[in-house]
A and B are shown apart, each in its own frame.
Chain A
Amino acid sequence: MRELLDRISQNVHWVVFLLLEVLSGFLLFKFNHYQGSVWFTQANTVAGKVLEWEAKGLQYMNLGKENAYLVRQNTLLQHNLNVLRHELAGLKGDTSVTQRYHIDLLKDVEMIPAQVISNSVRQRDNLITINVGSDDGVQPEMGVVSGTGVVGIVSKVTPHYSLVLSVLNSRSSISCRLRGTEYFGYMKWNGGNPLQVSMDDVPRHAKPRIGDIVETSGFSSLFPPGIFLGRVAQIHNSGDGLAYSLEIQMGTDIAHVQNVCVLKYNMKEELDSLRRQ
């Protein structure tokens, strides 16, 4: 008996080892499905604070680049404004029903400005932490955009921070379409280059061309229609040869994104409940 106890006490480290490995395995596999696990990420208050300090320090060094982005975005918007003015002049008094619908939809979007405090692009499943949380009105399943396009979707929320499922994540898929046509597909990231994503199942008669603009379709209640995603870089045949698979050059360099907006859809619940019926 004594000998047995000795044996056990000598080998207790094996038991501890197994227990700890099981615990890590649990964290590894359950993380994506278990809501409470948000406390084991950067979104918990202590880690969030530390990373926020760091991000604040680093922001100064990137101000130049951020400015360049803003200027570019400003030019783009100015250009868009001109185009729209032009179109409006032509259509005065004759706004079509769909356009009115789009304008109405945009009216209901509230933008919550936020700053990225932590970010990654080199893993298979990349997450972004931002400095707004449920206290600021952020909830899971809200879209996140930057000045240059879509960034991701909010996945977990604590009072002051949120964890965003980046576009560069194997689990994110964003409903998109080719600008000017109504042909839609889903945007996916297959790993590797953080500036390249793909859009599958584009029908052949959609006739995509290199350089075409890809934007959000607005079918999901996450993003309003027409938000810039990127441009078609290459056109491939899909596996079954019935459709095209497009390679898209991202409009947003996720690696350098700092200022973002969370899109709060006031009609989201209405849309979702409608969809469930």
Chain B
Amino acid sequence: MLLLLAFQVLILNHVQISGYGTPLVFACMILYMPMGSVRTGILLWGFCTGMLVDIFSNTPGVASGSMTFAALIQQPLLRLTVPRDAPENIEPSMQNMGTGNFVRYAMLLMLFHHLVYYGLESFSLYHMTDAVLLMLTSWVSSVLLALLLEAFRRKN
């Protein structure tokens, strides 16, 4: 988990997809919370990891706010995308949910996280189109990276 954060602040923070978005994989920190986890716990965990990212990227409040929001909707989203016959405490992964379901789940969670993140960040941004483009490139790259990480995680 610490490795993931280090990966984010030391490497990904310097990456720009053709001058636009930066992949934000730290949303993965709450992606794997099993169904039925204590929601207050997820919220606090999300906030703390967001805070760490904030400290390292000089964006006070932005990552922690968006992570808290993502933490709030993680359980409902998981319930929405998980197959009906799944066990009550299923842990989200490609193997447990099926690839399609997991991709949908990750995309949705990431989308909301990015919406809030760039919403908070661009409070003072003049160019709205730029902000949207930034968000989209960042979202696509984050989802791809998260799926790559997931595939890698399954192998181990």
Cα A12 to Cα B42 in complex, Å, equals 12
Is A21 interfacial (CB-CB < 8 Å)? yes
- Mask, A103-135, CB within 8 Å of B = 1, is 000000000000000101011110101000000
Closest to B42 in A: A13
Q: Mark B114-152, 1 if CB is under 8 A from A, else 0.
A: 000000111111110010000000000000000000000
Instruction: From B65, B71, B126, name the one whose CB has the most chain A CB atoms within 10 angstroms.
Output: B65
A17 touching B68 in the complex, CB below 8 Å, given contacts A26-B61, A40-B54: yes
A24 touches B61 (CB 8 A): yes
Q: Is the interface of B mostly helix, strand, loop or mixed?
A: helix
The answer on a CB contact under 8 Å between A28 and B47 is: no
Residues of chain A with a CB closer than 8 A to B61's CB: 24-29, 31
What's the Cα separation between A140 and B57 when bound, in Å? 20
Q: Which residues of B contact A24 (CB under 8 A)?
A: 47, 50, 61-62, 64-65, 68, 120
Q: How far apart are the CA atoms of A13 and B44 in the complex, in Å?
A: 10
Number of interface residues of A (CB under 8 A): 36
Contact B40 A40 (CB under 8 A): no
Most buried by B among A20, A42, A120: A20
Whether A21 contacts B10 in the complex (CB less than 8 A), given A28-B62, A41-B60, comes out as no
Interface string of A7-29 (1 = CB under 8 A from B): 00000110011001101111111
Name the 3 nearest CB pairs between A and B, nearest first: A28-B61, A24-B65, A27-B61
Question: What are 20 of the A-B contact pairs (CB < 8 Å)?
Answer: A13-B43, A17-B72, A20-B64, A24-B47, A24-B61, A24-B120, A26-B61, A29-B61, A31-B61, A40-B51, A40-B60, A41-B60, A42-B56, A42-B58, A51-B56, A120-B57, A129-B58, A190-B126, A191-B127, A192-B130
9 more A-B contacts (CB under 8 A) besides A27-B60, A47-B55?
A13-B43, A17-B43, A17-B71, A24-B65, A27-B64, A29-B61, A42-B58, A50-B10, A129-B58
Report which B residues bind A (CB closer than 8 A). 10, 16, 19, 22, 39-40, 43-44, 47, 50-51, 54-62, 64-65, 68-69, 71-72, 120-127, 130
